[in-house]
Structure 1
Amino acid sequence: MTETSDTRSAAGDAQGAPRSRVQRLMRHLPLIAPVLLWAVPCWILLHTGQHWPLPVTLTGTALFALGLIGMPLAMARGHGRRQQDRAAIVGDTLLGGVWVLFTWSVLLGTLLRLGLTAAGVGDGQSRARIVTWAVVGVAAVLLAWGYAEARRVPRVRRLDVELPRLGAGLDGTRVVLITDTHYGPLDRARWSERVCETVNTLEADLVCHTGDIADGTAERRRAQAAPLSTVRATRARVYVTGNHEYYSEAQGWVDLMDELGWEPLRNRHLLLERGGDTLVVAGVDDVTAESSGVAGHGAHLPGALDGADPGLPVLLLAHQPAFVDRAAAHGVDLQLSGHTHGGQIWPFHHLVRLDQPALAGLSRHGSRTLLYTSRGTGFWGPPFRVFAPSEITLLVLRSPGRSAAPSS
């Protein structure tokens, strides 16, 4: 017994050591990441064989150092207790800009340098300068394009979704999904109006908002959210909380959406009836509600489905795609989610996939459950979208044998 216990203890210690190192690394990540984001492009663009004139090198290095110091300070003032919108805009913009510069310094810088060397183009200094100008040019173009993509009204993505249990009377039901509007430091009241105008052209039976309405309290972002009251649907407008609501007085957002005419589906459901057939439309609080400390909030799917006929098809609103495991276990037919933003700024989607089972689009989970993950209608933080366009989604529900080809 003693020998076995000692053996287990030694094995546990061996497994615990790597875990503790990873945990220590994760604790220091907020300190390490900004240094890498600013130091790596500084080194690649200014100090790897370019031999710029001394004033250029000193000025460039000083700008990178200023960014390294200024970005965390601006973000802390913008998103911390002070909630200063101007500081948040500066910090978020610097974060997006340096992420793009870091990515393309590493990828394009390395590949281009290798290619020029293999082709025998110029000497070391000329190749280094070509790399610098190419990276700066590509980053500038991507940031300008990404800013325009983030600020425009999203394109409508349309697709037909066949649900085997959907009755013929509900065939053709039009469901519009908006999510992750993230009203925030940049005033987007006019953008919000135009989004709602676009939604109203789609003649929806059901309009859904799957959370992350804003960054900030309902009182603070009311003007940007107010156009949501103009959204039209023939049957219902429904809403569930996202994780960002729980950073910003979630109950205030629930109350405001109710005031604006949206029905908060907080672990409950309603019935959508047409042509003699019925669809259960259910919603749950975001999973972060469980640890938020907000009284009465928490994701509870059994509660959301309580009283519903188990033979009826179920459309579930849940902010995070990761909730789909619970949905599949309860036989949900279709879950609508957001949260991922499609990665928002490439190649951040690789990190998103470590946390979520789907990035964007339609996917199957289990024998019955479909998941549609929207890339989001707005943007979080950095005002850029690079290779991850925003969307307003029109899903046309089809009963068996009546599906049309999906289109965008």
Structure 2
Amino acid sequence: MFSLILNVVGSLFHFYVAARLRRVEPLRRRVGARAWWVGVIVLWVLYLAGVRIGDEELDWRWWPGQFAMMWLGITFLMTMCLLLADLLTGFGWWVRRRVASTALGIAAVGGVLLCAFAIFQAARAPVVSTHEVVLEALPAELDGTVLVAMTDLHLGAQRGARWMAGRVEQVNALSPDVVVMVGDQVEGRPTGEDRLPAALGGIRAPLGTWAVTGNHDFHGDLAATLAEFEAGGVRWLRDGSVELAPGLVLSGIDDIGRWMRQGGDYAAGLGEVLDRRPPGASILLSHTPAPGLVERAAEKGVDLMLAGHTHGGQIWPFGHLVARQFPPVVGEHQVGGMTLLISHGAGSWGPRMRLWHPGEIHRMVLRSPG
């Protein structure tokens, strides 16, 4: 069903962009109609083939799969720009043909620049976002503890061990006491890279590196994904808690996405996890910041909740759609006495594009009260 939706939506974007660009006079003069439409059909067939093959494969199928996802993102942004020009000119009915053509040409140039910027934002290294968070029960001797969080790495087809090694360098430069990975470590299946455990093992954090699962981690061989991260020294919190230091507790839950799709009480298990935790300042890792779950965590006395999943919408204006299901889409929020921090994510999903914000890594300095 998902592939069918991509086929239909992507085809609509593709042919709309092709038809509107055909009305730009410089292109019409330089490219004959037959050559133009043959090229359009060839690109369309390549797009359909890429959707069919998928964008998660790690062999030769990577190329058509990645092309399909990128082409979908490019034609979407181009459609937005060209549609704006069409609306302003009444699709060429309200103004002279030359004026409409010029407007479409300007929109096309703007669309190309917008696509280039979105690709740059996704390809660049994640930015570091710094926060100071007061935890009411944090002992004074742990004041200044540094926690670094990454989420939505989506390692696999788009990013591998080499990219992860760069993120490890970024993390180590932040002098963390503890590092957490908040779900969607892989794109949907284990990376299978021998170099990944070595890259992960380079993280220097005296209180350890901890992770929880995300929805994409369940799409492939979960056991193999868990194992390859464990080989790099990453410890998983699967509906459990650990005392990082006397008075500082880290809890983590498995991703709740499958329970949300089934319409059950996806927050039911959270109470059991938190009821079993040791006493102290409480940090919760949950990949999905679902309504109900967030409020339940605040009611249970969690001081800091870290989440991802939304990507901040990744490509504008999808953030507005994401907000309908996850009202706090991204950023720092106060829910009762709890701080909720939702990340844009360090990687990306689907088209390797981000508009407007780049990926991010969070550095949090934990403070005791007073």
User: TM tier, shorter chain?
Assistant: 0.7 to 0.9
1:341 match: 311
2:151 match: 179
The Cα offsets for residues 255-288 of structure 1, whole Å up to 9 and x where unpaired, read as 2222211110000011122xxx512100001113
2:333 match: 363
Superposed, 1:285-296 pairs within 5 Å as: 285-290=254-259
Deviation (angstroms), 1:335: 0.9
The Cα offsets for residues 302-323 of structure 1, whole Å up to 9 and x where unpaired, read as 34324324x5321000111114
Q: Secondary structure at the match of 2:345?
A: coil
Deviation (angstroms), 1:291: 8.2
Q: Is the alpha carbon distance of 1:258 and 1:292 closer, same or farther for their aligned partners in structure 2, counting shifts above 3 Å?
A: farther
Q: Is the alpha carbon distance of 1:299 and 1:45 closer, same or farther for their aligned partners in structure 2, counting shifts above 3 Å?
A: farther
Q: Secondary structure at the match of 1:300?
A: helix
1:314 match: 282
The amino acid across from 1:267 in the alignment is: D
Q: Secondary structure at the match of 1:385?
A: coil
CA distance in 2, matches of 1:237, 1:26: 34
The amino acid across from 1:354 in the alignment is: R
CA distance in 1, matches of 2:196, 2:114: 27
In structure 1, stretches of 5+ residues that fail to align are 1-24, 402-408
Q: Is the alpha carbon distance of 1:227 and 1:375 closer, same or farther for their aligned partners in structure 2, counting shifts above 3 Å?
A: same
CA distance in 2, matches of 1:27, 1:156: 35
Q: Is the alpha carbon distance of 1:255 and 1:27 closer, same or farther for their aligned partners in structure 2, counting shifts above 3 Å?
A: closer
In structure 2, stretches of 5+ residues that fail to align are none
2:138 match: 166
Tell which structure's C-alpha radius of gyration is larger: 1
Q: How many residues are matched? A: 362
Contact 2:156 2:191 (C-alpha < 8 Å) held by counterparts: no
Q: Secondary structure at the match of 1:354?
A: helix
The amino acid across from 2:82 in the alignment is: S
2:120 match: 148
The amino acid across from 2:46 in the alignment is: G
Deviation (angstroms), 1:332: 1.7
Q: Secondary structure at the match of 1:321?
A: coil
RMSD of aligned alpha carbons: 3.2
**More deviation, 73-82/162-171:** 73-82
2:75 to 85, 88, 98: 98
Q: Secondary structure at the match of 1:357?
A: coil
Q: Is the alpha carbon distance of 1:356 and 1:96 closer, same or farther for their aligned partners in structure 2, counting shifts above 3 Å?
A: same
Percent identity among equivalent residues?
30
Contact 1:246 1:288 (C-alpha < 8 Å) held by counterparts: no
1:218 match: 190
CA distance in 2, matches of 1:63, 1:181: 35
Superposed, 1:19-98 pairs within 5 Å as: 29-30=5-6, 32-47=8-23, 52-53=28-29, 55-79=31-55, 84-98=61-75
CA distance in 1, matches of 2:348, 2:149: 15
How does the TM-score come out when normalised to structure 2? 0.86
Q: Is the alpha carbon distance of 1:292 and 1:29 closer, same or farther for their aligned partners in structure 2, counting shifts above 3 Å?
A: closer
Contact 1:50 1:126 (C-alpha < 8 Å) held by counterparts: no
CA distance in 2, matches of 1:351, 1:127: 34
The amino acid across from 2:16 in the alignment is: V
2:204 to 232, 236, 248: 232
1:202 match: 174
The amino acid across from 1:325 in the alignment is: E
Q: Secondary structure at the match of 2:201?
A: helix
Contact 1:328 1:368 (C-alpha < 8 Å) held by counterparts: yes
Q: Secondary structure at the match of 1:186?
A: coil
Q: Is the alpha carbon distance of 1:39 and 1:232 closer, same or farther for their aligned partners in structure 2, counting shifts above 3 Å?
A: same
Deviation (angstroms), 1:384: 1.5
CA distance in 2, matches of 1:199, 1:339: 20
Q: Is the alpha carbon distance of 1:252 and 1:196 closer, same or farther for their aligned partners in structure 2, counting shifts above 3 Å?
A: same
